[in-house]
């Protein structure tokens, strides 16, 4: 948190505690809406309600709601009167208003749609799409022009209409049936003779998406082609919406956050139940149980090799190192693969190449760490053969861990299971088990030389 925001947060909290409403109102009026929105991440629900209730300007309130968590925004709106809600929703882009309404009780959502009748048709259309699809994040406030218009006429239309639509990054060109036939940039429009028809200067090869495309695929498409907006068309190529780069950034941030939660064995829902310890525990327990069962299996394997341990008690000292290093290597490989699948840089056609690369990396790191640990074992316990056992086991365990880190996410991806949520617990548990097996199998093999 930067110093400016920290000062603003401290001031806001202090004024809320004191009940100094007039002073807090002045602070809100003088603060940029983006800074007000940032404050909501550090306030509890009661403080959020107090602060939001002091935002008198509907446009500012709409901006804040567009920037904060949608479930939080829905909760804050429900505390206002119907007329205030109507004024705020009318100031919001339709796609943001839809996200807020999705998080409201069904009865209230229907009531609000009847209140904002002017926007209801567009909002109901957006509500018909799943929230994680292109249709769910698109804006229906689009600017398009007929292909037969001249450059002069296009500029005049742009001057008259652009204030009422989403940011105009490109001019989308349609035919008389509103089918998307081309696109051109503002620069192209301004640098051609005034009487040039749009159909003569437009690019007919338009990158577009369908409303049922997953939002993550849309983000990959925008990143791949470095475009600032992408049009949404239906099955007949009719232009129905637009997704701008700010929405794509939100998607990328949301997907990255979701992946991080999942890879940690947690859930994004915890953010919404942040004040309920039982709910948080219930969300985390399944993944902890997976690790717990893995630990039991690991303990059982150690019990099976109790004779080996009894003969060479020094082996106990290196168990945490073998399992810990294997878990780290497997986790690193799994993270690379999961992120690769998420960003589109890894697919099943390139998986083999990545697998052999990670195996080579695992082998190199295993040899280096294995030699280091072998030296530690030799100087600590004065047993050359113990050093050999520990070094070989470490090298093999890290090689297997790197391999497992690639194969596990690919396996779950092939099954249609989200690799982010399933891979980490599996990789950690599997690497503990395989590491113990490799370690004690190696020790048992060399047992005659260890006594």
Q: What is the CATH number of the domain that holds 281?
A: 1.10.357.20
Give 375-392 pLDDT, tens digit per residue. 988 888 888 888 888 889
Largest CA distance in the chain: 95
Give 59-81 pLDDT, tens digit per residue. 899 889 888 888 888 888 888 88
Give 190-212 pLDDT, tens digit per residue. 889 999 999 999 999 899 999 99
Q: 39 with 91, same domain?
A: yes
Q: Is residue 344 part of a domain?
A: yes
The end-to-end CA distance of the chain, in Å, is 59
How many whole angstroms from its chain centre is CA 213?
A: 17
20 vs 27: CA distance, rounded Å? 11
Residue 399 · residue 363 · CB < 8 Å? yes
Four-point Cα dihedral 133, 134, 139, 142, nearest 10:
-160
Four-point Cα dihedral 91, 154, 246, 419, nearest 10:
120
Q: Which domain holds residue 152?
A: 144-244
Q: 67 with 10, same domain?
A: yes
What SS3 state is found at 129? coil
Q: 340 with 218, same domain?
A: no
Q: Is residue 337 part of a domain?
A: yes
User: DSSP letter string over 293-339?
Assistant: HHHHHHHHHHHHTHHHHHH-GGGGGGHHHHHHHHHHHHHHHHHHHHH
- pLDDT of amino acid 273: 46
- pLDDT of amino acid 208: 93
193 C-beta neighbours (distance < 10 Å), count: 10
What SS3 state is found at 387? helix
Tokens for 39? 């404050």
209 vs 242: CA distance, rounded Å? 9
* Residue 185 region by backbone torsions, left for phi larger than 0, else alpha for psi between -120 and 50, else beta: beta
Residue 342 · residue 397 · CB < 8 Å? no
What is the mean pLDDT, run by run of 10 residues, along the chain of 451 residues? 84 90 90 90 89 89 87 87 83 81 81 68 77 86 88 88 68 91 89 91 92 89 87 92 85 72 56 58 72 84 82 83 87 85 79 90 90 88 86 91 90 81 77 89 82 59
Q: How many domains does the chain have?
A: 3
Q: 201 with 217, same domain?
A: yes
Q: 429 with 310, same domain?
A: yes
Query: If we measure between CA atoms, which residue out of 54, 114, 106, 107 comes closest to residue 89?
Result: 114
Q: 302 with 395, same domain?
A: yes
Q: 287 with 407, same domain?
A: yes
Q: Is residue 261 part of a domain?
A: no
Q: Is residue 187 part of a domain?
A: yes
Q: Is residue 189 part of a domain?
A: yes
Residue 409 · residue 419 · CB < 8 Å? yes
Q: Is residue 422 part of a domain?
A: yes
147 vs 46: CA distance, rounded Å? 54
CATH of the domain at 120: 1.25.60.10
Q: 294 with 227, same domain?
A: no
Q: 295 with 399, same domain?
A: yes
Q: 126 with 152, same domain?
A: no
Angle between helices 351-381 and 319-343 (to 10 degrees): 160
Q: How far is CA 198 from CA 14, 169, 208, in A?
A: 58, 16, 19
Q: 148 with 117, same domain?
A: no
436 vs 412: CA distance, rounded Å? 24
Q: 374 with 301, same domain?
A: yes
16 vs 43: CA distance, rounded Å? 11
What SS3 state is found at 170? strand
Q: Is residue 259 part of a domain?
A: no
Instruction: List beta partners, residue 172.
Output: 144, 183
Q: Is residue 185 part of a domain?
A: yes
Cα torsion 159, 164, 168, 173: sign: negative
């Amino acid at each position: 948190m930067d110093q400016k925001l920290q000062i603003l947060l401290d001031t806001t909290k202090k004024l809320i505690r004191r009940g100094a409403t007039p002073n807090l109102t002045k602070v809100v009026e003088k603060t940029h809406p983006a800074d007000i929105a940032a404050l909501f991440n550090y306030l509890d629900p009661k403080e959020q309600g107090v602060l939001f209730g002091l935002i008198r300007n509907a446009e500012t309130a709409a901006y804040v709601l567009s920037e904060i968590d949608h479930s939080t925004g829905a909760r804050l709106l429900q505390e206002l009167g119907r007329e205030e809600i109507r004024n705020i929703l009318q100031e919001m882009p339709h796609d943001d208003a839809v996200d807020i309404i999705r998080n409201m009780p069904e009865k209230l959502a229907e009531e609000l749609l009847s209140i904002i009748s002017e926007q209801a048709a567009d909002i109901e259309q957006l509500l018909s799409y799943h929230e994680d699809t292109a249709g769910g994040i698109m804006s229906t406030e689009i600017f398009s022009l007929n292909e037969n218009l001249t450059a002069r006429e296009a500029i005049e239309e742009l001057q008259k209409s652009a204030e009422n639509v989403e940011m105009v990054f490109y001019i989308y060109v349609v035919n008389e049936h509103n089918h998307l036939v081309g696109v051109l940039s503002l620069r192209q429009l301004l640098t051609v003779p005034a009487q040039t028809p749009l159909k003569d200067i437009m690019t007919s090869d338009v990158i577009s998406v369908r409303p049922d495309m997953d939002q993550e695929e849309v983000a990959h498409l925008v990143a791949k082609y470095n475009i600032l907006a992408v049009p949404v068309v239906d099955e007949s190529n009719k232009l129905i919406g637009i997704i701008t780069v700010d929405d794509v950034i939100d998607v990328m941030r949301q997907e990255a956050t979701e992946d991080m939660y999942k890879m940690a064995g947690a859930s994004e829902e915890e953010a919404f139940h942040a004040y309920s310890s039982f709910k948080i525990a219930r969300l985390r327990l399944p993944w902890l149980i997976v690790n717990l069962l893995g630990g039991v299996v690991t303990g059982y394997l150690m019990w099976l090799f109790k004779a080996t341990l009894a003969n060479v008690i020094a082996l106990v000292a290196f168990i945490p190192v073998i399992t810990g290093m294997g878990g780290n290597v497997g986790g690193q490989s799994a993270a690379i693969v999961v992120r690769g699948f998420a960003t589109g840089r890894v697919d099943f056609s390139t998986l083999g190449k990545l697998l052999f690369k990670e195996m080579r990396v695992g082998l190199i790191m295993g040899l280096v760490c294995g030699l280091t640990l072998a030296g530690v074992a030799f100087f600590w316990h004065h047993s050359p053969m113990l050093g050999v056992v520990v070094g070989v086991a470490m090298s093999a365990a890290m090689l297997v861990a790197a391999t497992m880190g690639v194969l596990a996410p690919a396996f779950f991806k092939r099954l249609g299971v989200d690799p982010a949520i399933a891979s980490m617990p599996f990789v950690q548990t599997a690497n503990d088990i395989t590491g113990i097996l490799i370690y004690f199998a190696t020790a048992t093999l060399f047992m005659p030389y260890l006594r």
